[in-house]
Structure 1
């Protein structure tokens, strides 16, 4: 009898737990649906002017459960106060040698760089096409250059060069997402988009345009780079956490730069084409600009799950993937 009572109690707890989870997911779906529906109802022609839009009222539950249109993706002074859970998670990634006041760093940042909302112009008249250009060797001999350059935004990652590779990777760059250890010069028309994995990354950005005194993080870094101060942007720490928890389901320790860039593009673009992700045709992973082999599944990023998630985005028609001819 006692065993039966315990089983009954466990069964009731299981039903209760499932019920709470179901209500949570239903509520989250409802909030996002209402947000998107209000956007569509406020216009005559839908959510964007492209043939297909990243946000679509006919989205699959898989996408709706992950995509949060209200998460801050770029940092500014007004959204810079971090929730306690975000601050704890983000600073846990860091190994700062000394305590630094985050608020003071932010104040300095936005005394130097643009302090405004970006890409809040989404609507039925906009069709912003974006090319996210990774660094895979599968770009070699792809002849994707002209196609990449046709996009409104061309977002490149870390050190990926264009000079000498124009036929395959294009020559246009509107945004380059990087961090201190991957920093390169960018031309005057390109947005330098800092991906801050630590507060020292923000301090390095300040130093680059002022004292140039930061020359080392966990490795040697460039004390200065060529870039347009008026086009500097900073990825919001909450966005990094959101990508990790919502899109990667906490696989790995934190997301890769490439994967964060892809999700960033989903938030600022209406149509997203992805180039230079994945292995070459022979299964090897290396950059198109060098021959050092890498292993996608190693490291802190949960690469296998990132790859699986990108394939799912392809299946639900949120991105188009271009993997070259090799």
Structure 2
């Protein structure tokens, strides 16, 4: 009787154990497949173009087409500016002045832009001068970036809590140049950016709206070329539609956005944010 009982138990165990074992095998194979996928997703060396959580250059047909059609943003001695590009730049930007010709003496032989690398995450903060930075407390968030690009005369001293204290690059027109502190490593005069790039930004991104792109928008477009991750701060008009600055009181209440297509510029920046190409703060 005992033998028969044991035999029946073994048979019943086999009846349930074999299907259970098959399920375990199938589950193991499935989990291993999931692990393989998740590992590839987490391992930037295998499937990513950079080491950031989300890379600008991640495969995106819309963005790839936009970047492929862009000229090199920097002038170089091996770049031949066409007459059409030069004339557009001269007429529209008011930058051509005899006393500024010396700036061209610092143009390098080649204009290399360092592309993305799986082993590097180059984060950039593009810091505009909008009054919406007041009270934002973005300072530490801005300074956390590898590259912090400011424009024109936007100060940091006295505004550190909202705009940070770090500056690695500054973009400005010659007529808005100011005395810089020792924290700025590199200055990009808009004058020595490639006229073809500026014309491309005006035509491809702004659809020829406005006389020419603002310094801020040029800087956003430039950051798309040199950064792996772009965080944008301090852009946008006030409630009356005026461009105001965090460091001064607006005197001209009818300024709007001057000769720039401010609404179109902000629309494009929002589009880049919605497409998850940049992160726009203070919307």
Shorter-chain TM-score range: 0.7 to 0.9
State the Cα distance separating 1:73 from its structure 2 match. 0.6
Q: Which residue of 1 aligns with 2:58?
A: 56
Contact 1:297–1:304 (8 Å) recurs in 2: no
SS in 2 for 1:130: strand
Alignment partners' CA distance in 2, 1:314 and 1:54: 11
**TM-score, scaled relative to structure 2:** 0.74
SS in 2 for 1:66: helix
Change (3 A) 1:304 1:45: same
Contact 1:130–1:272 (8 Å) recurs in 2: yes
Q: Does 1:318 align with 2:277?
A: yes
Change (3 A) 1:117 1:64: closer
State the Cα distance separating 1:192 from its structure 2 match. 1.1
Q: Which residue of 1 aligns with 2:48?
A: 46
Alignment partners' CA distance in 2, 1:308 and 1:139: 19
Alignment partners' CA distance in 2, 1:114 and 1:297: 38
Alignment partners' CA distance in 2, 1:323 and 1:78: 41
Change (3 A) 1:285 1:250: closer
> What are the equivalent positions in structure 2 for 1:52-91 lying under 5 Å apart?
52-59=54-61, 61=62, 63-68=63-68, 71-79=71-79, 81-91=80-90
> What are the equivalent positions in structure 2 for 1:1-326 lying under 5 Å apart?
44-59=46-61, 61=62, 63-68=63-68, 71-79=71-79, 81-93=80-92, 105=101, 109=103, 111-112=105-106, 114-190=108-184, 191-196=186-191, 234-280=192-238, 285-292=243-250, 297-323=256-282
Contact 2:230–2:277 (8 Å) recurs in 1: yes
Q: Which residue of 2 aligns with 1:15?
A: none
**RMSD (Å), alpha carbons:** 2.8
Alignment partners' CA distance in 1, 2:249 and 2:148: 24
Alignment partners' CA distance in 1, 2:107 and 2:125: 25
Change (3 A) 1:284 1:117: closer
Unpaired segments ≥5 residues, structure 1: 1-42, 197-233
Contact 1:255–1:302 (8 Å) recurs in 2: yes
How many equivalent residue pairs?
236
Unpaired segments ≥5 residues, structure 2: 1-44
State the Cα distance separating 1:166 from its structure 2 match. 0.6
Give the number of the structure whose residues are more often helix, by fraction.
Answer: 2
- For the pair shown, the structure with the greater C-alpha radius of gyration is 2
